[in-house]
Every structure is written in structure tokens, then in C-alpha cells.
Amino acid sequence: MRAEIEAALTAQDAAISPKYLYDPLGSKLFEAICELPEYYPTRTEAAIFAEHAADIAQAAGTGVTLIDLGAGNCAKAAGLFPELKPRQYVPIDISADFLHQAVDGLRQQFPDIPMHEVAMDFSASLELPATVSRERRLFFYPGSSLGNFDPQQARAFLRRMRQALQIGEAGGVLLGLDLVKDARVLDAAYDDELGVTAAFNLNMLKHVNRLIGADFNPRDWRHIGFYNAAHQRVEMHLEACRDLIVRWEGGRRTFRQGERIHTENSHKFTPQDILDLLEESGFGDVRMWFDPQRWFAVCHARA
Ligand code: AVJ
């Protein structure tokens, strides 16, 4: 982890993986983002799940081993429990303390569903503990988190999911993916007027300070978030407000005023992109559900 961050920081085009956005405060700031009027994905996806719950449960099957990738506060998966009736719930998240708290609350609410939380970086490996059932696994990857990968990485990740699904009775994936839309809607969603997304992005610097002993001062940086149509993705960057030097245990880097650290890509899809991506990764029987504006898609596919 230290080596990964140091290499990314000292690269010609500095970048930090978006997974480092999620320390305890970062996870809370993301929850706050989901409440913003400008940030439509979470509520649009929730509306699709509510509207098509019965259909989705029929496609995904009931009594599955529900594996929640990037579970966060587990709220999305919990909303599906009444329809999906999972035989086991396996929430996975890189933000360990936040995850444990969320699952403790959920156990009180659903005492009959066995839960087995796993704090790990699933982007590095999908190898799950032996306690996770191999029967009828359903990988739940909502919120357009797949869009954080570039298309080539997304295909590789889907292929790894498919492998992990083929060890028992064949399972599937249930994904939420954000669709291409008017750039003004996207720009506002990732650069909100209250600056909550800015705080979420800047907080990564405080997290990195703790992880590698660096001396980033968030006041020296500003948030950039915009839709890059040529790449069909929203980009987040942190831009240096002045010439400065950042030091950490064993290294340093100078930044010129205006120089940026790339912190996130959030790819947007057309329904055809989603079909192609799933089929190129070996999945079949793709089904999709949309909101009336076609801003967001939920899809199920079989391994
Ligand atoms: C959690 C990856 C789905 O890309 O929309 C929200 C994260 N970044 N605002 C997204 C995010 C800026 C979010 N995902």
C-alpha cells in the first residue's frame, strides 16, 4: 500500500487510487454526497430497485449468497433483503471500522440472515474466506462503482468475478451503472454547490498523510470535478493552488501551481456499452432496468 501510493504520487502524472477516498470520514462524506440534490445516482438507483424489485429478484433468484462489493453502510443490500431473502450476506469493504459498525446494526434488524463481513481490498483479490458459501453466489456491485475502473480494468474485474462465480452452482452479478447524459447534470453531480464533494476529495490528502506519513495541507489544494466527454467519464482531480513541496517518510515531490493529482474516474455507459462489457467478459442472459429518464441502469447477468 505504501509502495503503491508513493509510486502513484511520484509518477509524471500524479494519481492516487479512488479507494483511498474511503477512510472513516471519507465514508461519511460519501453518505452526505448521496443526500445532495445534485448527486442523482444513489436515489435514482434506489428508485429502480424499488420499482422493479420483484423482477430483479426473479432474475437474480432468492436464497442466494449475497456478496456486497464495497458495502459501505450496507443500506442498498439491506433494501433488497425482503425480496432476495439471501441465505448468507457477505458485505466486503476496504473501510473496516465503518463496515463493522454497519453490520452490527444490520444483525439486530435481520437476526435470521447469517452475515459474514470481510474487510479487504477486493480490487486486489476476490479470494473469499472458506466460510463464504460457494452456492449460488450473487455479486452485488451497485452505485456505478464499476465505473471507477477504466474499460480494460472493468473487463478484467468482471472476468475475475465470473471465475469466483463458477466454483459452485453458477451464480450471477447484479450491477448498478451510471448512464451517459447531459454534461451539465454530470458536472453538477461531481462539483456540488455546498462543496461536499470537494471535502470528500480533499479528505483523501488527510488519509494519505496518515497512511504514508506525508504532510499534505488540504488548504493548498482545490477540488476539480468535470465530465470528460472524449473519455466518457467524470474525472476528479486535486489541483495545487501554489508551487509547493510535499514530503513523506522516505520521499518528496514538488508540485507547480496548477499541477494536478488525478483521484478518480467515474465512467458513464450507454446500455450497449454495458451489454458489450458483460458479453466480452463471458456473462450471458443480460437483463436491464432503467429509471424513466434513463439516467441509470441496474442489470443482472449470469456467469
Ligand atoms: C462510489 C464510485 C459510485 O463515482 O459516483 C461520488 C464516488 N465520487 N462523488 C461515483 C463519487 C464523487 C462514486 N462511486
For the residues of 260-300, what is the DSSP string, one character each?
EEEEEEEE-B-HHHHHHHHHHTT-EEEEEEE-TT--EEEEE
Nearest-angstrom CA–CA distance, 128 and 105: 23
Contacts for 171 with CB less than 8 Å, ≥ 6 apart: 64, 65, 136, 137, 138, 139, 165, 302, 303
Best mutation site among 150, 264, 265 for ligand 1 pocket (most ligand atoms within 8 Å of CB) = 264
27 lines ligand 1 (CB under 6 A): no
189 lines ligand 1 (CB under 6 A): no
Nearest-angstrom CA–CA distance, 287 and 52: 12
Best mutation site among 148, 266, 267, 269 for ligand 1 pocket (most ligand atoms within 8 Å of CB) = 266
Ligand 1 center to 166 CA (angstroms): 29
Ligand 1 center to 292 CA (angstroms): 22
Q: Is the reported ipTM for this assembly greater than 0.95?
A: yes
Nearest-angstrom CA–CA distance, 136 and 122: 19
264 lines ligand 1 (CB under 6 A): yes
pTM of the model: 0.93
126-133: long-range contacts (C-beta < 8 A, 24 or more apart)? 126/160, 126/161, 126/163, 126/164, 127/164, 128/67, 128/90, 128/164, 132/65, 132/67, 132/88, 132/90, 133/65, 133/87, 133/88, 133/168
- Strand blocks (E) in the chain: 65-69, 88-93, 118-119, 137-141, 172-178, 221-228, 233-240, 244-248, 251-255, 260-267, 284-290, 296-302
Q: Which residues of the chain have pLDDT under 50?
A: none
Task: List the 284-290 sheet strands across, edge first.
Answer: 118-119, 88-93, 65-69, 137-141, 172-178, 296-302, 284-290
Ligand 1, atom nearest to 148 Cα: 2
The closest of 104, 94, 76, 80 to 27, measured between CA atoms, is: 94
Q: How many CA atoms lie within 13 A of 69 on its CB side?
A: 26
Ligand 1 center to 189 CA (angstroms): 9
Burial (CB < 10 A; 0-12, 13-18, 19+), residue 174, is buried
